[in-house]
Amino acid sequence: MKQFTGGVAVITGGASGIGREFANTAASHGMKLVLADIQQDALDGAVAAFRAQDVDAIGVHTDVSRASDVQALADAAMQTFGQVNLLFNNAGVTSGGLVWEHTEQDWNWVLGVNLHGVVHGVRIFTPLMLAQAKKDENYRGHIVNTASMAGLITAPSQGIYNVSKHAVVALSEALHHDLELVTGQVHCSVLCPSYVQTNIGESDRNRPQSLVNATPLTTSQSVTRQSVLSSLAAGDVTAQQVSQVTFDGIRERKLYIYPSPQSLSRVKMRMEDIIAQRNPGDWFSDIPSLRARRERLIEALR
């Protein structure tokens, strides 16, 4: 997809972080915006800011873990603008700690947003986009699923997040292969950023009350949370840079988009361990922040 002007971009998690930068970039290319977010005040503020810049934008309060909310999002986009050209399945949350310490509520929350949110987006929007392609040979569409380098590398004390993002990578690869069977007008990408300067580390602020744990954080969860917040604050790329790299990838029809390509050396190490049938090595020993996290965890848990 090379032409954005006049198209419509639907962005989940669109009120802040990477999603907000997707909206900024889309707007700069003359696109209309459908922003979805679970945080109403942030959503209202984002829509107001874009309208003040004469950008056609609507906001739809959306809990992506609910299929009915994602369907309502698609309905609002079509009723308002009549088409969807870009879909960013971007909403995400994070939770860390020893994998066996996660509660059922933790699993339901993280997988509900990070995985089922993408599943709902793919299931509901792909047929809609294919229908547009069938009606108009000039139509072009693209779906971007936000995964993470954690979808390609399994770091300690991030098991629940790793699981969700590995699944998004697999889903995106499957979507790519399946789209290739039926159309040349709709494509997809999987975005795999490393640490980015966003507020995802504070995503608990939007956790549904029904999925809040009755017990406090464990030692591993507390140590991991503080380490993740520090890593995010020191992220090697900004959300704006991630957005630019992503739009470049859309133009080039890239499936895999890596805003931090230096992290691919860890992916290579992991794949070499898998192929050699050897137990995983310490892929992060040369990264000071991750080495320090490991050392803090060992000290706190022993």
Q: Supply the CATH number for residue 109's domain.
A: 3.40.50.720
CB 69 within 8 A of CB 63: yes
- Residue 276 falls inside a structural domain: no
DSSP tag of 183: -
Distance CA 80, CA 202 (A): 32
Q: What is the pLDDT, as a whole number, of residue 285?
A: 79
Helix locations, 95-153, DSSP H: 104-111, 117-135
Classify residue 293: in a domain, yes or no: no
Q: Let me know if residue 280 belongs to a domain.
A: no
The sign of the CA dihedral 120, 123, 126, 131 is negative
Asked if the structure places residue 222 within a domain, the reply is no
State the 10-residue block means of pLDDT for the chain, 302 residues long. Answer: 91 97 98 98 98 98 98 98 98 95 96 98 98 97 97 93 98 98 98 89 89 93 87 86 98 97 94 96 80 84 83
Q: Which domain holds residue 73?
A: 8-213+236-261
Q: Is 229 contained in some domain?
A: no
- CA dist 146 and 155 (Å) reads 18
What does the pLDDT read at residue 236? 81
Structure tokens at 56: 């056609």
pTM of the model: 0.95
> What pLDDT was estimated at residue 203?
87
In a domain, 231, yes or no: no
CA angle 117, 43, 116 (to 5 degrees): 5
Domain count, the chain: 1
Instruction: Report yes or no on 225 lying in a domain.
Output: no
Other residues' Cβ atoms within 10 Å of the Cβ of residue 206: 17
Distance CA 60, CA 43 (A): 8
| Angle at the Cα of 43 from the Cα atoms of 38 and 49, rounded to 5 degrees | 170
Q: Are 34 and 60 in contact (CB under 8 A)?
A: yes
43 belongs to a structural domain: yes
Provide the angle, in degrees to the nearest 10, between the axes of the packed helices 159-182 and 104-111: 30
Residues in the chain: 302
State the Cα–Cα distance between residues 132 and 3, nearest whole angstrom: 16
Which pLDDT score is estimated for 286?
A: 78
